[in-house]
Amino acid sequence: MRRLANLLIAILMASTALPAVAATIGYWRFEVDDDASLDGLDSPNELAFGTPFVSSEASLDGSNLPVGIVPLGSAPNNFSVASRFQGGAAGINASAAWYNELLVTSITVEFWARTIESVATPFRWTSGGLDGILISDPNSLDVTWHVNVGGTPTAFTMSNLDNMDASWSHYAFTYDEVSGMAVFWVDGVPVQSVDGPDNAPLVLVPGTPLEIGVLMDYASAGQGTMDEVRLSGTSLPSTGFLVPEPATGCLLGLGLAAFAAAGRRRSSSRRARPRGCARSRSPR
């Protein structure tokens, strides 16, 4: 029951909070590729102090997009990022070098993605030890994060968050250091939460690069699979996400449906939605 209460609190906060000023610490739109080679990617950070995402096997795709106009603004979205190759260890396999502004204690990680693969890692930010954030396993979508609990690095996990498919979805992970509350969101809807220890900052190792699209090559080369990757140094409400905002009634109903389905590995069909709540999907 406590888990249900925590999830409902997150839903209510999302539906009532005013749009926050996003303390953006990294934003990669994948609208520009500064690498002139056919198989290379060098896509700049929208923030002047940030580093680009680079890859030796990725490129931009103008045919497969999650949205035409980015929510919370009027910027057109003309490209997504894709793997140039398919099969084996192929993928976007892009990384962005560490910079000092990434050292935060609370966070929002958000991105658009799609894949029909069973083995891939959409987002990886860890040295391999008890630190950082990992979002992996598209068939169930799991997230692991590490926080400092009384001086001890401690791992927390949420599992069975989504069964990714060929349609675009917006994914977000939020963590608040003060309350210890972590929430995972799909298309602006909270699907699972963990109420951890209070005053437990994220554990991040300076120098650790960000990685996206690890082994994500979709079903054929050149098909866009990720877009609009943004990090914020605070736990944003859903009104601050780069996704159209769901109606309050849909948030409540979907949260209850997601809780009821928690722990079950979903089939190829998407989660149940209350009648009258249309899912905002982008063309494949």
CA–CA distance, 212 with 122 (Å, rounded to integer) = 5
Q: Is 117 a member of any domain?
A: yes
Q: pLDDT band at residue 245, thresholds of 50, 70 and 90?
A: low
For residue 154, give the nearest of 129, 134, 179, 178 by alpha carbon: 129
Q: Is 281 a member of any domain?
A: no
Residue 90 has pLDDT above 70, yes or no: yes
Residue 253 has pLDDT above 70, yes or no: no
Q: Mean pLDDT over all residues of the chain? A: 84
Q: How much is the average pLDDT of 56-72?
A: 93
pLDDT in tens, 171-182: 999 999 999 999
CA–CA distance, 202 with 198 (Å, rounded to integer) = 12
Q: What are phi and psi of 254, to 5 degrees?
A: -70, -35
Q: pLDDT band at residue 217, thresholds of 50, 70 and 90?
A: confident
Domain range for 23 is: 2-261
Residue 278 has pLDDT above 60, yes or no: no
CATH code for the domain of 223: 2.60.120.200
Q: Is 135 a member of any domain?
A: yes
Q: Is 275 a member of any domain?
A: no
Q: Is 92 a member of any domain?
A: yes
Residue 231 has pLDDT above 60, yes or no: yes
Number of domains in the chain: 1
pLDDT in tens, 136-149: 999 999 999 999 99
**Which region among 51-55, 75-79, 198-202, 265-269 has the lowest average model confidence (pLDDT)?**
265-269
**Which region among 69-78, 115-124, 138-147, 261-270 has the lowest average model confidence (pLDDT)?**
261-270
Report whether 244 contacts 71 (CB < 8 A): yes
Any idea which residue has 């990992």 for tokens?
Answer: 134
Q: pLDDT band at residue 272, thresholds of 50, 70 and 90?
A: very low
Beta strands in 94-141 (DSSP E): 94-96, 107-113, 121-125, 133-136
Q: Is 119 a member of any domain?
A: yes
Q: Residue 4: what pLDDT?
A: 47
Q: Residue 155: what pLDDT?
A: 98
CB atoms within 10 A of CB 157: 11
Residue 258 has pLDDT above 90, yes or no: no
Q: Is 91 a member of any domain?
A: yes
Q: Is 86 a member of any domain?
A: yes
Residue 191 has pLDDT above 90, yes or no: yes
Supply angle C-alpha 164, 145, 272, rounded to 5. 30
